Amino acid sequence: MTRHHPKRPFPPYAFVPGLHPHPNRDPKGHSYGQEEHEPEYISSDAWRDNEDYLYGVDLYNHGFFWESHEAWEGLWLKCESVDETQRQLLQALIQLSAATLKILMKQPTGFKKLTKIGTKRLLTIAKDIDGRYMGLDLKAHAEAFLQFAASEPQSPDQFPKIELQLN
């Protein structure tokens, strides 16, 4: 999978609640004691320059589901009352990342619930957007995720990657 922001390294492990030390709260966590990164709001038109968005995509595509959720959450907070469409996209991506994490946590009900909410949010945005938004074909990604969910996955091995069209 192509890295969109290769300058930022991946953490040494992908955190799964109950299996690994909490990244921020546990002294053994991969981000313990590190200064928290404060993202800045960048308009959806300039998404190619949004390093936090792109890093979240990289994290997600490489199986760092909790970490991608965290990367996007800071951006999601910055969008409040500024850019509702971008906020909705980020929330959908956060929900689908959390859904995929639920597979690893052996929580099929949580997986189904978050899949339903996240894909519905993507499809709602797609009704108003012709084609792609922030590089992502919303309808295609939602449909791929629904197909993945319908397979009742026992592992996230075949989860649909976020494919951004950069041009």
Measure Cα distances from 109 to 79, 115, 149 in Å. 29, 10, 11
* Inter-residue contact 118 to 92 (CB < 8 Å): yes
Domain ranges within the chain, ordered by starting residue: 46-150
46-150, superfamily in CATH? TTHA0068-like (1.10.3450.10)
CA dist., res. 167 & res. 158, Å (int): 26
For the whole model, what pTM was predicted? Answer: 0.93
Which pLDDT score, from 0 to 100, does residue 20 have? Answer: 83
The pLDDT tens digits of the residues spanning 74-111 come to: 999 999 989 999 999 999 999 999 999 999 999 999 99
